[in-house]
Amino acid sequence: MDENLVAIIEAYVPPEGRNIISLDGCVHEKKIHHYAMSDNIYKGNGAFDYLVTPTQKYKPGDAVWERAWELYDELVGDMMTRGLGNQFVDYEAFVFPSGRVEVMEVNCRCFSNQLPIFQRIFGAGCMMDTSIDLLVRAEPTFAGAMPDAGGKVGVAIYCPHVDEAPDYIEQRQVHILLFGRRSVSGPQLLRRLSLPDGDEAEL
């Protein structure tokens, strides 16, 4: 592909031989921290099917791994000069057969589709806890080293919703307070979910 290209449109990129990955990280007090790299898996018809975290296709030291994070730092560094700070940034990238890595999409937010999986494989270093930390300018628990999944692999599958789910949700009386993992003074309750049957769930 022409190195002078300034835009690549997903719909016009042939699926043969190319992979798509997602990279998540955050900025804390003008420092970039890497969080996770995931595989974006597409069905044969080109529809987005599922995500695998951490990536099973690339590993530290691979040329693609190094280039993808280098591109992440370039991208986020440029955004920092435009005011971005103390938040997560996700970008999705094409990986071509030659090993070339190009940006496909950028999202200045948590990767919400992956939130439950991040918590299950990274524990205290999950994205939701870290987002709360960033709000109070606390350093991420994974500062200096990406969180370790401990051999676990998370898969987020995209599928039709359960028909009964909307009615089930509408019947719940939800009361929300603030909740968080920790603060400067120690652990504190930030959010509690109260259900009609008297049960409570902390989020």
Looking at the structure, tell me whether residues 111 and 42 fall in a common domain.
yes
Looking at the structure, tell me whether residues 200 and 104 fall in a common domain.
no
pLDDT value, residue 114: 80
Q: Is residue 12 situated within a structural domain? A: no
pLDDT value, residue 106: 93
pLDDT value, residue 164: 56
Q: With contact defined as beta carbons under 8 Å apart, do 158 and 179 qualify?
A: no
Q: Which residues contact 143 (CB under 8 A, 6 or more apart)?
A: 28, 31, 33
Looking at the structure, tell me whether residues 100 and 174 fall in a common domain.
no
**DSSP code, position 109:** S
Residue 95 in tokens: 């990986």
Q: Is residue 2 situated within a structural domain? A: no
Q: Is residue 11 situated within a structural domain? A: no
Q: Is residue 4 situated within a structural domain? A: no
The domain in which residue 178 lies consists of 161-203
Looking at the structure, tell me whether residues 66 and 28 fall in a common domain.
yes
Q: Is residue 134 situated within a structural domain? A: yes
pLDDT value, residue 38: 95
Looking at the structure, tell me whether residues 132 and 45 fall in a common domain.
yes
**Partner residues linked to 19 by β-bridges:** 95
Q: Is residue 62 situated within a structural domain? A: yes
Q: Is residue 13 situated within a structural domain? A: no
Looking at the structure, tell me whether residues 144 and 46 fall in a common domain.
yes
Looking at the structure, tell me whether residues 137 and 193 fall in a common domain.
no
| Residue among 53, 114, 97, 103 nearest 75 (CA) | 103
Give pLDDT tens digits for 77-98: 999 999 999 999 999 999 999 9
Helices (H), the chain: 63-80, 115-122, 127-135, 165-170
| Residue among 96, 93, 12, 23 nearest 46 (CA) | 12
Looking at the structure of the chain, the number of domains it has is 2
Looking at the structure, tell me whether residues 29 and 107 fall in a common domain.
yes
CATH number at residue 88: 3.30.470.20
Looking at the structure, tell me whether residues 100 and 186 fall in a common domain.
no
Looking at the structure, tell me whether residues 140 and 174 fall in a common domain.
no
pLDDT value, residue 2: 56
Kindly give the parts of the chain with pLDDT less than 70: 1-6, 44-46, 160-203
Tell me phi and psi for residue 84, to 5 degrees.
-70, 140
Q: Cα–Cα distance between 135 and 130 in angstroms, integer?
A: 9
Looking at the structure, tell me whether residues 66 and 145 fall in a common domain.
yes
Give pLDDT tens digits for 50-68: 889 999 999 999 999 999 9
Q: Is residue 59 situated within a structural domain? A: yes
pLDDT value, residue 185: 35
Looking at the structure, tell me whether residues 31 and 131 fall in a common domain.
yes
pLDDT value, residue 163: 61
